[in-house]
Structure 1
């Protein structure tokens, strides 16, 4: 086990938020590839859970807990440092590690804002009450986010894409696990 990492269990509410890309500098900092364009949840968490890379040398096995000292935006990426990772060799050993954080540590979303992870799996229904399918993933197109919805139609999988904007989205209910939209089956 690397210095600075502690063996632990992955929390039941753990969400994968990024991956360690490489070492950054000589003082133990490392570059992070976040899975979100706005990695506030990554910055808010002081403890990251790591799973080792799937390929190459594994510097640890199982789940490791890392105490993050600092994480910040640098240029077009995110860099971070952690307790016990004090040199470039330690940071390089983390390359490829998958980063998870507990959902409980995510900052509270503002009104009419949602974490993508909370939208995946929700049922999408139009104003007429017709089911359009289930949110499989979300896609950022730059100016807007798009819901990628999967449904079965005539025993064949159908994919629909609906812009996640107020012009088409009437309501999101995380409690009811439903998104109500102004969209038709034949769009």
Structure 2
């Protein structure tokens, strides 16, 4: 993920508890149950993965049901366990109750993320749509999305050439390939030459 990133997904929808419109950021999903005391297994988009349990309440809904309302649930505790994250939700005390949560997406309100945002931290959602130029002032395209590669994230930058939409991949390496990010101006400056595209 991009340095300090939480997630690349966002949704605007009313929550079922208040009926108010608020932007929700999807942080992961509930994938299974853990033990017999109401714990659930979590697939987390956060980096590190256990950062998802730093937020409460969560908002959940069935995965893929974009028209469904979010339901607010309180997180009692959670932790990293081997290669996954496990969590205990309030009023979830046995395996059967935990099973009812499996398959739900987990989101938090944007305001919850902003409270924990550190200086010079960017979420994927901040970067998508920004114009990318190199140090010579050549416009390289617009950020379409980001890819996780393990070592570092990669910007997918789209541009038009001879009537075709093409992509170039630029590593998200701060102070190396990434020179400056200006969210207000909607731009990213990179140390990148066009002829390097084929070398990535």
Give the total of aligned pairs: 176
Superposition misfits of 4+ residues, deviation over 3 angstroms: none
Within a 5 Å distance, the mapping from 1:48-127 to structure 2 comes to 48-54=58-64, 62-106=69-113, 107-111=116-120, 113-127=121-135
Q: Does 1:174 align with 2:174?
A: no
Cα distance between partner residues in 2 of 1:95 and 1:142 = 27
Is the 8 Å Cα contact of residues 42 and 101 (structure 1) preserved in structure 2?
no
Tell me which protein shows more helix as a share of its residues.
2
Unaligned runs of 5+ residues in structure 1 are 1-5, 56-60
Q: Which residue of 1 aligns with 2:25?
A: 15
Return the alpha-carbon distance in structure 2 between the equivalents of residues 167 and 115 of structure 1: 19
Deviations 1:95-119 (A, max 9, x none): 11011111221222243x3222322
Is the 2:50–2:85 contact (alpha carbons within 8 Å) kept by the matching residues of 1? Answer: no
Confirm or deny: 8 A CA contact 1:144 1:164 kept in the other structure. Answer: yes
Task: Indicate the residue corresponding to 2:141 in structure 1.
Answer: 133
1:37 positional shift = 3.7
Which TM-score applies when normalising by structure 2? 0.79
Partner of 1:184: 193
RMSD: 2.1
Scaled by the length of structure 1, the TM-score of the pair is 0.84
CA shift for structure 1 position 64: 0.6
Q: Mean Cα displacement is larger for which, 7-16 or 101-110?
A: 7-16
Task: Return the alpha-carbon distance in structure 2 between the equivalents of residues 66 and 108 of structure 1.
Answer: 22
| Distance in 2 separating the partners of 1:127 and 1:54 | 41
Residue deviations 1:122-143, cap 9 Å, x none? Answer: 2211122222122222222222
Equivalent position of 2:154 in the other structure: 146
Query: Do 1:171 and 1:181's aligned partners in 2 also have CA atoms closer than 8 Å?
Result: yes
Unaligned runs of 5+ in 2: 1-14
User: How many Å separate the matches in 2 of 1:137 and 1:122?
Assistant: 10
